[in-house]
Amino acid sequence: MLKSLVQPIGQKRLTGIAIVRLKKHGVRFEIACYNNKLLSWRSRVEKDVDELPQSHTVYSKVSNGILAKKEGFGCEKKRNPGA
């Protein structure tokens, strides 16, 4: 009698996760946050913002795992007001 082989899943499931999006200069950025923590932060029960994200990684698309480029957020290019 053959039993089916159970394969390990090499990907994170996005259950219980809220995706927070920011669109800046036409580029979309996303972070994955815990749903319950996000709701309690919005109702001002949770005070610590560092408790919200599931990981401290900024994505361009969370569902596919595509990381955002650092220069796309505008942190690399700082304008010089004197120039």
What does the domain layout of the chain look like in residue ranges? 17-70
- Which CATH homologous superfamily contains domain 17-70? Ribosome maturation protein SBDS, N-terminal domain (3.30.1250.10)
Per-residue model confidence as pLDDT tens digits over 35-58: 999 999 999 998 888 888 888 889
Six-digit token pair at 26? 């036409």
- The sign of the dihedral angle between the CA atoms of 24, 28, 29, 34 is positive
Q: Is the pLDDT of residue 66 over 60?
A: yes
**What is the structure's pLDDT at 12?**
66
pTM: 0.65
* pLDDT beyond 70 at 77: no
Cα 79 to Cα 64: distance, rounded to the nearest angstrom: 33
